[in-house]
Amino acid sequence: MTARFQARIAGATAVVAGLVAAVVATLLLGSIRDRGLATIADPPALTELKRQLHDDPLNAAVKAQIRELDAGVRAGYLQRQRLLDSGRWVLLGAVLVAVAAGRAAVRLGSAVPHPGQADLSARAFWRQAWHAQDAVLLAVIAAGGAGFFSAWHVGGAGGTSRGAGAHSAAGAGKVPEAPVDEAVYARQWPRFRGPGGDGVAAATNVPVAWNGASGTGLAWSVDIPLPGLSSPVVWVDRVFLTGADKDRREVYAFDRATGRALWRTEIRAPGSDPTPPKVGDDTGYAAPTCATDGNRVYAIFANGDLAALDMTGRVVWAEALGPLASLYGHAASLATWRRWVIVQLDQGAAEEDKSRILAVDGATGRHMWETARPVPNSWATPVVGGPSASAQLITAANPWVMGYDPATGVERWRAEVLAQDVAPSPVWRDGTVYAVNEGACLAAIRAGGTGTVTATHVAWKAVDNLPDICSPLVTGARVYLLTSSGMLTCFEAAGGHKLWEHELGGSCQASPTLARGLVYVFLQDGTAVLVADAPEYREVARNSLGAEGCAASPAFVDGEILVRAKSRLFCVGARR
């Protein structure tokens, strides 16, 4: 085979490879314009079904249709992702072949007379031919490179804005979603201590009498696979819970009507520290309560692993925020605001500057904002209070109660009223924040102002029977405090005057709840004491669940109370 013939073959190969590269690059660049290869978009039928479910959240038939259609949409998305990945590598291979074949054609080709320069030397001719070939190859490389890297960018979109440690199981485009319906949200028990994070239940028909020994008034109970002190949360027909030990972290979903286990998902965030954190007996590895916005469930564990799961138990994204330097183990529960997850990560000593609070996009795991906090490790859970347009994010830790703008993370105000290890969570009620801790005081703070407002916005303080674990309950006219030893104390909300105190006869870790005008207190031995919300102590009922280790705060929903005991989840209510 002559050198001239070899040059022609190499040249033809370079042309074909260049054309392939150009076509594939064009297709990939086109995907940037419409994002069709790299995003999940709801078809009109799915959008309409979601609208129907929004209007009728208990419609099982609509839910089934949504799951079926959504599965098809996601399967199509994954197929497009595979095509995108394949096209990226085909493009790279075509560019490399074009470059190699083009170089070979130049080396093997014979001299061609240069127009107007009959006496051009062979050396000068090859120099010009080489430069001309370079121009063509550079054009191919430029087009191919643009397509390759744009495809890489499109294919890798999503996850958190911090990349490291984040993982999106879907690969990631954000699915368009309707805003959270506040009326629907208020009827659920979507986070620690209910929709407002204050222990006030909207349901007015919860049970007042039951007996665990005889089974009277119990709808069902079910084993919990792994231990934990996190509380149950409820969204429509599902109950969510977390459990963990030193080796595993799991999220569970149970059918609210029957207690049947729907799914069980292990959480393993990329980059998570394999060394188990040191935790205390009163916290454990699954103390933080999960949260839900109706589209996803969010969970965090003592090692700092944060994850979002869809309602079928599939991990949407997960991120390792740890290890966390916490004296007893991380226990702050999650809160949601609109479609964001609020994570309070107070850790270490104040002078170590490790503490922070952040907002994470629930759909993608992207960090929307992050703000440093001048506090040591704490175990309190944040709450969001006030009208939607002027909402405030409230946190508590030694020594500050602080208010932030939940949209930006910018601090608005702070009041110096706390001390020592802060575990009780703050409560927002009618524009006033109530915060308490043993060794400090119970403080009523008018939310607002700018900067340090200790001298101007603290309405009153009280120092009797301060709790070290249980969060306060504000019913409107009265404020209740519950100590770990079982002392229940009632104060006037208007001025802090103590109305009464009563020893309930057992230890407590679960925070009190208000439902149907009664204060529900669950003792650790499984006894529930129901007390009238009144200016004098009046016990209405005392019921036994017959289960030891009731340390988690119960969930109160229409007709039912969900109680987590040491190894079982109980539904107090009528059988369906």
Residue 32: pLDDT band (50, 70, 90) is very low
pLDDT at 552 over 50: yes
pLDDT at 466 over 60: yes
pLDDT at 385 over 90: yes
Residue 44: pLDDT band (50, 70, 90) is confident
Of 68-82, 221-235, 272-286, 303-317, the poorest mean pLDDT is in 68-82
Residue positions counted in the chain: 576
Q: What single-letter amino acid sits at 572?
A: V
Q: In what order do the strands lie in the sheet with 296-300?
A: 166-168, 315-320, 305-310, 296-300, 291-292
Please state, in angstroms and rounded to a whole number, the distance separating the CA atoms of residues 71 and 199. Answer: 37
At residue 298's C-alpha, the angle toward residues 295 and 300, to 5°, is 175
Instruction: Give whole-number Cα distances, 268 to 230, 232, 452, 467, in Å.
Output: 19, 21, 41, 35
Note the pTM of the prediction, 2 decimals: 0.73
Please state, in angstroms and rounded to a whole number, the distance separating the CA atoms of residues 428 and 442. Answer: 13
Q: In this prediction, what percent of the chain has a pLDDT beyond 90?
A: 66
pLDDT at 360 over 80: yes
Of 8-12, 327-331, 489-493, 514-518, the poorest mean pLDDT is in 8-12
* Residue range 256-271: mean pLDDT, rounded: 97
pLDDT at 290 over 90: yes
Q: Residue 469: its pLDDT value, please?
A: 97
3-state secondary structure of 400: strand
Q: Residue 157: its pLDDT value, please?
A: 35
Q: Residue 50: its pLDDT value, please?
A: 59
The answer to whether residues 397 and 440 touch, using CB atoms and an 8 Å cutoff, is no
* Residue range 232-260: mean pLDDT, rounded: 97
Dihedral over Cα of 214, 218, 222, 224: its sign: negative
* Residue range 209-217: mean pLDDT, rounded: 95
At residue 543's C-alpha, the angle toward residues 501 and 492, to 5°, is 25
Residue 92: pLDDT band (50, 70, 90) is confident
Q: Residue 126: its pLDDT value, please?
A: 43
Highest mean pLDDT among 66-70, 389-393, 507-511: 507-511
Average pLDDT value for the chain:
85
What are the backbone dihedrals phi and psi of residue 341, each rounded to the nearest 5 degrees, phi first? -105, 130
Closest by CA position to 465, among listed 489, 443, 444: 489
Q: Residue 393: its pLDDT value, please?
A: 98
Residue 60: pLDDT band (50, 70, 90) is low
What are the backbone dihedrals phi and psi of residue 225, each rounded to the nearest 5 degrees, phi first? -60, -45
Of 12-21, 142-151, 336-345, 546-555, the poorest mean pLDDT is in 142-151
Give the position of tokens 């984040």: 166
Please state, in angstroms and rounded to a whole number, the distance separating the CA atoms of residues 296 and 237. Answer: 14
Other CB atoms within 10 Å distance of the CB of residue 103:
16
Q: Residue 180: its pLDDT value, please?
A: 77
Other CB atoms within 10 Å distance of the CB of residue 211:
13
Q: Residue 412: its pLDDT value, please?
A: 97
DSSP state for residue 495 in the 8-state scheme: T
Domain boundaries, the chain: 3-157
Is 82 exposed, middle or buried, given 0-12, 13-18 or 19+ CB atoms closer than 10 A? exposed
Q: Report the run of H or E that residue 33 belongs to, with start and end.
A: helix 3-34
Q: Residue 130: its pLDDT value, please?
A: 45
pLDDT at 133 over 70: no
DSSP states of 265-278 as a string? Answer: EE---TT---SPPP
Torsion-angle region of 329 (φ positive above 0: left; ψ -120 to 50: alpha; else: beta): left
CA atoms within 13 A on the CB side of 149: 5
Residue 337: pLDDT band (50, 70, 90) is very high
Q: Residue 264: its pLDDT value, please?
A: 98
The answer to whether residues 277 and 329 touch, using CB atoms and an 8 Å cutoff, is yes
pLDDT at 416 over 60: yes
Residue 116: pLDDT band (50, 70, 90) is very low
Q: What single-letter amino acid sits at 355?
A: S
Residue 175: pLDDT band (50, 70, 90) is very low
Q: Residue 576: its pLDDT value, please?
A: 84
